[in-house]
Structure 1
Amino acid sequence: MSAIAPVTALGGDPLVMRLGMPQPVPQSQGAGFGDILTAGMKQVESKLSTADTLVQRFALDDSVPIHQVTYALEQARMSVELAMQVRTRLVEGYRELMNMQL
């Protein structure tokens, strides 16, 4: 059996002693704004595709429950509505920036 290492050996000073000190900001390789928008639009497209597929399957085959079709259609509708709201806010922000006096 090995002994448990003291807390100070893990990160220098104990956490209680470091509370008032500024913490270093980790450099993350996060996604950019364009990447986030692209991922969101891909999700909207996926939900639309799923709803379309379920509607086609429901029309051709009676084994697909109507509640699944309704739920998929509502998810797709809400996703499109959210995407339109985001687009509207982005356009409003762009117009506001363009109308600013320098």
Structure 2
Amino acid sequence: MLIVLHWILVVLIVAASLVSVTFSFKSRRSSDGRMRGIYAARMNMSMGAMLILVAVFMMLAYSGSTVKVIIGALFIVLGLFNLFAGMRNHSVYTAMK
């Protein structure tokens, strides 16, 4: 059962990183400032989700040493910050006309 959970997390991490790269390319290629901001916000949200998933995978896959728990907690905090900053920026840019 734990092996299946690990594989599900790996697939979700890969999917989130691919979505993040896609929105990064779209953000850099967009000429419209509003769409650039929306794509950057979506990239931040997917990167935050990816960081949270990496932290969960790291905490489940390896034995709990102090350093790994601290690094996992930092990844979770950084991921939550990216997720909420992306959500805030997405709402600001979608409200623009």
Q: Which has the higher contact order (CA 8 A, sep 6+)?
A: 2
TM-score normalized by structure 1? 0.47
TM-score normalized by structure 2? 0.49
More helix by share: 2
